[in-house]
Copies of this chain bind each other. A is one copy, B any other.
């Protein structure tokens, strides 16, 4: 029973934020940007996420046109999630957010040890040119 399709906010900024904020969406997007991924792959890439939640986030992103879900008639069946054009348009923005986040962590979180995580550039690089 498909839910009533929650309306997105009218204001563009809020709309965009609504669409990309979800506990795991940025990370999922990050992985999907590098090519089509199977559910099990994504699950393996994010050990901490629950399958239910992973699927739920994927469903929302699909509904919002960020990713495309494709089922291949094989045995056993294979399902791939791919970033759409619209979704790819978020890549530079997410990168910018990432850089700002690092910047912010250095400025604010004094001794805030940054996570040794994937979703950030190797070398900080100068942000404010």
List chain A positions with a Cβ less than 8 A from chain B: 8, 10-17, 19-21, 26-27, 30, 64-65, 86, 89-90, 92-94, 96-105, 107-109, 112-115, 117, 119-120, 128
Q: Is the CB of A10 within 8 A of B104?
A: no
Copies of this chain present: 2
A99 to B113, CA, bound (A): 33
Q: Is the CB of B17 within 8 A of A97?
A: yes
Q: Is the CB of A17 within 8 A of B12?
A: no
A63 to B94, CA, bound (A): 23
Q: Is the CB of A104 within 8 A of B11?
A: no
Contacts of A15 in B (CB 8 A): 101, 104-105
